[in-house]
Amino acid sequence: MDLYDDFKQREAWALAGGRNAEKSAKLLEGKIFVRDRLDLFFDNGLEIEDGLLAGAEKRVPADAVVTGIGKVDGRMVAMIANDISVKAGSWGYQTMLKITRMQERARELKIPLVYFVDSAGARIDEQKQSYLGRTAWGNIFYNLVQLSGVVPQLCVLFGPSPAGAAYIPGLCDTVVMVDKKATAYVGSPRMAKMAIGEDISEEDLGGARMHCTLSGLGDILVQSDAEAIAVAKTYLGYFPGSWSQTPPIAATAAQAAPPDLEALLPRDQNVPFDIKTLIRALADDDSFLESKELFAKEMTTAFIRLGGRPIGVVANNSKFKGGVLFNDSSDKAARFIWLCNAFNIPLLFLQDISGYMIGSSVEKTGIIRHGAKLLSAVCEASVPRIAVMVRKAYGGGFLAMSGAPTKPDAMLALPTAMPALVGPEAAVNAMYFNQIAELAPADRAAFIKAKRDEYARDINVYSAAADSFASEAVVHPNKLRDELINRFALYALKPTPAIERRNAVHPV
């Protein structure tokens, strides 16, 4: 055979993967073939591919993983993508070498790294050379940790990611999961049945919806491969190439029809309010990407743009559980803050918070530890940080949501704001408990109402702003967007302070 004909055949064989193999048909059912995914993701497909002919000696095309670099919206991005059509996307020794080399390349080039995960995990028949030594599968996880906070790492989970492979989504910054296709678990349903006698389906054990609603592993749930790829491209648009760069500012930053925020905000503090309506109203058009939408809904975390500038939003959502902070919502917010701070994305806090949840149940599950985690994340954030009192701003919840004592760059307030140590209900109960008990039952309701109204009149944003300089400005809702745009542009000029230490000891 001619030398070049031989090369062309080898190349074509590797590029085809297992897409034409009969045994791969079920694995690819309802999915887009890995190289077609890459064509959808990159502007012009992979521009550089490494290790195409790896695995040839074993007759495993590309050793079941595609690694390379291409452009997404004109910016270079590194890619690691499992090929489920070849040995179920499993990891062999050459797979590990390709993955770790691309991880190292992303760090050298300071470019984002995206993992398209669709893999049955490690190959048992290659464990001798791949498991125990210093050059082994575990290097993948070591590199994930070394890359954390250096370059953005995004996991798009199209299919399975079992056992050790589950730590790729576990260690990435953000995880996009395809509903009813993606799964992640340490032990399979079969192992659970054998080891602990639990009879459970794969979907209930480690399905995408479970992880996006209950475990918190998943950040964004999508319905198809194509949607996952579109979301991944949108997500990267909010991030710089690495920690040492600033996020890209979009050229278009307008609102076609600015809404009337005065009419949008309920004046009654006890009326539940979906904070997402306010976030969308403040944001540039078509620039809202929510993270962990289905998990701990009392806290909303989302990426938006204000005047073209990427902003991370942390907001209490009183539509769910009154917006009170629980363990999961504290963890959710802390993780989001750390992510934004790592990559120079400014933070906007929207406060509508009556405090942390109380009671024996949350105390036993560590509300103090989890709440301290959120407070720690807020206090160590060094990116531009603005907090806005939207409505309630009570006690420890106020502090956890970037209250004035945590030294945000600005503490703003709307006329609807109610800053206080506790709300009228708790305050009256605490101050007048004995007096209320002594009253005739028929007189109690009127007395309590009068005292609550009296207390509420005394907790208003104007006295707080005047007496203790608790806020830099009280802003009309319809002027808030412009105020935020101007302040974030100004605060972007400040130097980033550094605390001399090896690392903080974070609450867990």
What digits encode the pLDDT tens for the residues 170-185?
999 999 999 999 999 9
**What pLDDT, on a 0 to 100 scale, did the predictor assign at position 178?**
98
Q: How far apart are CA 74 and CA 72, in angstroms?
A: 5
Q: Which two tokens stand for residue 443?
A: 């007189």
Q: How confident is the model over 39-57, as a mean pLDDT?
A: 95
Angle between helices 477-491 and 275-282 (to 10 degrees): 60
Q: How confident is the model over 317-341, as a mean pLDDT?
A: 96
- Quick: pLDDT tens for 96-135: 999 999 999 999 999 999 999 999 999 988 888 888 889 9
Q: How far apart are CA 488 and CA 307, in angstroms?
A: 9
Q: Which two tokens stand for residue 433?
A: 């408990």
pLDDT, the chain, mean: 91
**What pLDDT, on a 0 to 100 scale, did the predictor assign at position 419?**
85
Q: Place domain 261-421+460-491 in its CATH homologous superfamily.
A: 2-enoyl-CoA Hydratase; Chain A, domain 1 (3.90.226.10)
Q: How confident is the model over 262-268, as a mean pLDDT?
A: 90
Q: How far apart are CA 62 and CA 49, in angstroms?
A: 10
Q: How confident is the model over 487-499, as a mean pLDDT?
A: 90
Q: Which helix (H) or strand (E) element contains residue 316? A: strand 309-316
**What pLDDT, on a 0 to 100 scale, did the predictor assign at position 430?**
61
Q: How far apart are CA 225 and CA 415, in angstroms?
A: 45
**What pLDDT, on a 0 to 100 scale, did the predictor assign at position 433?**
63
Q: Which two tokens stand for residue 226?
A: 């194509």
Q: Is the pLDDT of residue 444 over 80?
A: no
Query: Residues, the chain, total?
Result: 508
**What pLDDT, on a 0 to 100 scale, did the predictor assign at position 464?**
65
pLDDT tier at 467 (50, 70, 90 boundaries)?
low
Residue 242 near residue 150, CB atoms below 8 Å:
yes
**What pLDDT, on a 0 to 100 scale, did the predictor assign at position 100?**
98
Pick the range with the lowest mean pLDDT from 197-211, 300-314, 371-385, 436-450. 436-450
Q: How far apart are CA 139 and CA 116, in angstroms?
A: 18
Q: How far apart are CA 147 and CA 368, in angstroms?
A: 30
**What pLDDT, on a 0 to 100 scale, did the predictor assign at position 429?**
65
Q: Is the pLDDT of residue 295 over 90?
A: yes
Q: How confident is the model over 224-242, as a mean pLDDT?
A: 98
Q: Is the pLDDT of residue 388 over 70?
A: yes
pLDDT tier at 159 (50, 70, 90 boundaries)?
very high
Q: How confident is the model over 195-213, as a mean pLDDT?
A: 94
- Quick: pLDDT tens for 50-105: 999 998 889 999 999 999 999 999 999 999 999 999 999 999 999 999 999 999 99
Q: Is the pLDDT of residue 314 over 70?
A: yes
Bridge pairing between strands 385-394 and 418-420: parallel
Q: Which helix (H) or strand (E) element contains residue 393? A: strand 385-394
pLDDT tier at 157 (50, 70, 90 boundaries)?
very high
Q: Is the pLDDT of residue 232 over 80?
A: yes
Greater model confidence, 455 or 123: 123
Greater model confidence, 440 or 11: 11
High-pLDDT (> 90) share of the chain, %: 72
Q: How confident is the model over 211-218, as a mean pLDDT?
A: 98
User: Where are the chain's structural domains?
Assistant: 3-236, 261-421+460-491, 424-458
User: For the domain with range 3-236, which CATH number is right: 3.40.50.300, 3.90.226.10, 2.10.69.10, 3.40.50.720?
Assistant: 3.90.226.10
Terminal alpha carbon distance of the chain: 63
Tell me whether domains 3-236 and 261-421+460-491 share a fold: yes
Q: Is the pLDDT of residue 448 over 90?
A: no
Q: Is the pLDDT of residue 474 over 70?
A: yes
Q: How confident is the model over 288-302, as a mean pLDDT?
A: 98
Q: Is the pLDDT of residue 426 over 70?
A: no
Q: Is the pLDDT of residue 201 over 70?
A: yes
